[in-house]
Amino acid sequence: MNRLQILEYPDPRLRTKAQPVSVFDAALQTLIDAMFETMYAAPGIGLAASQVNVHKQLLVLDVSEEKDQPMVLINPKIVASEGSQTYQEGCLSVPGVFADVERADRIVVEALDRHGKAQNFEADGLLAVCIQHEIDHLVGKLFVDYLSPLKRELVRKKLDKQRRAAAEA
């Protein structure tokens, strides 16, 4: 069991800006494996290191139905984007809350893989949404930031209520 604790909104640590990864050692591989285990168990389709209180530019994702297409993006950058799409997003750091967010429809991503090898690829649809959502985490941004202040306040109250109910149960 290598599950990591996921920080939850409005934890201020989620606002930390992540630093680039420069060392691809055994500790990094262990962290990546633990992040996958945590993400699949949650269950979720993406997890940024920021969410497990590790402030490195690292994210894992798997948007496949069969959960057999794990992807690791290190020091990721979106180098081109076009179009727009709206998708009802959720986040493991904002449990039980879903809201429409508008993002680019197609993106080109540059990143390193888990061994430091450069990769460059195009993504669209859900994969593009997921990558944009996770890259936001690395700069301390959450999907609720795209909502109106009123909606964001409702989200915060809903989470408070859920936590109180869980504490009483």
**Which residues are marked as active site?**
134
User: Which CB sits closer to Zn ion, 51 or 75?
Assistant: 51
By the criterion CB under 5 A, which residues form the site for Zn ion? 91
- Closer residue to Zn ion in complex, CB, 9/109: 9
Distance CA 167, CA 169 (A): 6
CB-wise, 24 or 90, nearer to Zn ion? 90
DSSP for residue 56 = B
CB of residue 137 to Zn ion, shortest distance in Å:
6
The residue with its CB nearest to Zn ion is 91
Shortest distance, position 111 Cβ to Zn ion, whole Å: 17
Least Cβ distance, residue 10 to Zn ion (angstroms): 14
CA dihedral 32, 3, 15, 121 (to 10 degrees): 30
